[in-house]
Amino acid sequence: MPTFPSRRLALVAGASLALVAGCGSSSDTKGDGSATSTGSPKIAVVASTNVYGDIAGRIGGDKVTVTSIISDPDQDPHSYEANTQNQLALSKAKVVIENGGGYDDFIDRMLKSGNSSAEVINAVKISGKTAPKGGELNEHVWYDFPTTAKIADHIAAALGKADPADAATFTKNAETFKSKLKPIEAKEAQIKKAHGGEAIAITEPVPLYMTEASGLVNRTPEAFSEAIEEGSDVSPKVLQETLAQFSGKKVKALVYNEQTSGPQTEKSKQAAKAAGIPVVPVTETLPAGKDYLGWMTSNVDALSAALGK
């Protein structure tokens, strides 16, 4: 996935801490920061999004306090503007979880400016994924379940380093979390067995690790998804090529990123519906009331149901 400067997460400076404290925030904090049942202080964890915040909370349990900087399901993560409240949270963190790959560069900038000593977990680096030859990196690695399992192990290790007395608990919790990823991967394998090689369309590369693991082929013109990622207009020619995928019924489903919709993506959705092609909505952050495992289970189930129509 291309990373464009106009869509990168930006850092806003100049606001005072007192002013920010009185304003609304996209941050989501779990835990009260008090001591654990054993009397030791809770580990302060900051995650760039609530996706990683939820995973950290599952592994750390009541021994961590997790702050997720981006937690609003209506917020486009690409256009998020960090603030000094985020800077304050990062300055207190023992463990920081970022996506990397250009997705949340504001984390690194604030860590450097604050001389942080936190243990930093970079999901893209952990994934080992790189840009394909002549292409761009798809940094939405949380849609890749083997990568998520690796991230869980790194979170457990970082928490264990911060609190050696509870290291075994963190490792056990990570193992439990990873075991619950297996049924989701099994669902992908079932889709691949039933629908491998079938074509789909997307609006952005967000779900591609999931659809590729399910054996599906993306037929969206690359110029379309690139323009959507950049936040620029799609050329009339490319838009027509994209819409023809639906009118010609060349794809079995449209996987649609609800968090970055616009006129061109709306036209794609309308064209898919007009052609009787199912639309599978996805998001980049956790929907309200969902945890990571339930969210991804719903995504894979929705994809399977759409292809079965």
| 3 state SS for 158-192 | HHHHHCHHHHHHHHHHHHHHHHHHHHHHHHHHHHH
CA distance 174 to 216: 30
Convert the pLDDT of each residue in 143-173 to its tens digit. Answer: 999 999 999 999 999 999 999 999 999 999 9
**Closest by alpha carbon to 102, among 83, 134, 71, 130?**
130
- Domains in the chain (CATH in brackets) are 5-181 (3.40.50.1980), 184-307 (3.40.50.1980)
Residue 23 has a pLDDT of 29
Query: What are the residue ranges of helices labelled H in 61-207?
Result: 84-92, 105-113, 123-127, 145-162, 167-195
Please name every residue paired with 213 in a beta bridge, in sequence order, or none if there are none: none
Average pLDDT over residues 14-42: 49
Looking at per-residue confidence, does 223 or 183 come out higher? Answer: 183
CA distance 116 to 108: 10
Give the DSSP H or E segment for 270.
helix 263-274
25 pLDDT higher than 70: no
pTM confidence score: 0.87
Residue 233 has a pLDDT of 86
Please name every residue paired with 256 in a beta bridge, in sequence order, or none if there are none: 281
Range scoring the smallest mean pLDDT among 80-84, 95-99, 201-205: 80-84
Top mean pLDDT of 80-84, 109-113, 300-304 is at 300-304
